[in-house]
Chains A and B, each alone.
Chain A
Amino acid sequence: DGGITQSPKYLFRKEGQNVTLSCEQNLNHDAMYWYRQDPGQGLRLIYYSQIVNDFQKGDIAEGYSVSREKKESFPLTVTSAQKNPTAFYLCASTTRHGYTFGSGTRLTVV
């Protein structure tokens, strides 16, 4: 079945550590996105990529980094510069007619 796979589902990070969230899609979509969701809030755009080897900052890119070396993969690194990283992270890809989201990764700083 086609879809988006995010891993891991739960991730615990110590303060000062970098962590990488995985996002893989087999939908052959060109555009991919990372969103952050805080409790009781809507989603906010972190980074997006339209094609391989190209990506753009979204509204809250500080403290995050991404890469797009393959069409299928768009990993997100949460760096130690991100002061409040505890959140639910969602990856998505699109056609012209709508988004497909992964099931998310819950990141907690311990």
Chain B
Amino acid sequence: GIQVEQSPPDLILQEGANSTLRCNFSDSVNNLQWFHQNPWGQLINLFYIPSGTKQNGRLSATTVATERYSLLYISSSQTTDSGVYFCAVDRRGSIQGAQKLVFGQGTRLTINP
């Protein structure tokens, strides 16, 4: 099955710093999503980004599908950005209407004040 690798596994930064999180995947995908899991376990969908670049405030993401990677950028980090960031992909050929996501292991981001 498809493999999803995220790096780095852990990242500790001071408030105000910028960061780049990477997601590599081993096969063609027709869907890629980035999620943020807060310390209480809630998962929030950040981006649906099978290709191209999107921006939402201080966060932006780029997926280069032909090279099988995606990057999540966080600028001017705040303590509320702390948590685990997951990349997840939907395998090519998935049944129409169902998005069977395969998740990476996550990057744990800690923003210190």
Q: Do A and B bind each other?
A: yes
Interface status of B25 (Cβ within 8 A of chain A)? no
Contact B45 A43 (CB under 8 A): no
Contacts A42-B104, A42-B106, A43-B86 given; does A101 touch B42 at CB 8 Å: yes
From B35, B45, B100, B103, A48 is in contact (CB under 8 Å) with B100
Closest to B42 in A: A103
Contact A43 B103 (CB under 8 A): yes
Contacts A42-B86, A43-B86 given; does A99 touch B98 at CB 8 Å: no
Closest to A51 in B: B97
Number of residues from A at the complex interface, CB < 8 A: 27
In the bound assembly, the distance between CA atoms of A41 and B88 in angstroms comes to 13
Contacts A31-B98, A48-B98, A98-B33 given; does A42 touch B42 at CB 8 Å: no
In the bound assembly, the distance between CA atoms of A104 and B73 in angstroms comes to 27
Most buried by B among A58, A99, A106: A99
Give me 30 A-to-B residue pairs in the complex whose CB atoms sit less than 8 angstroms apart, sorted by A's number: A31-B97, A42-B4, A42-B88, A42-B104, A43-B86, A43-B88, A45-B100, A45-B101, A45-B102, A48-B98, A50-B95, A50-B98, A56-B98, A58-B100, A59-B1, A88-B41, A90-B41, A90-B43, A92-B43, A98-B48, A99-B35, A99-B99, A100-B45, A101-B35, A101-B42, A101-B43, A101-B44, A103-B41, A104-B41, A106-B41
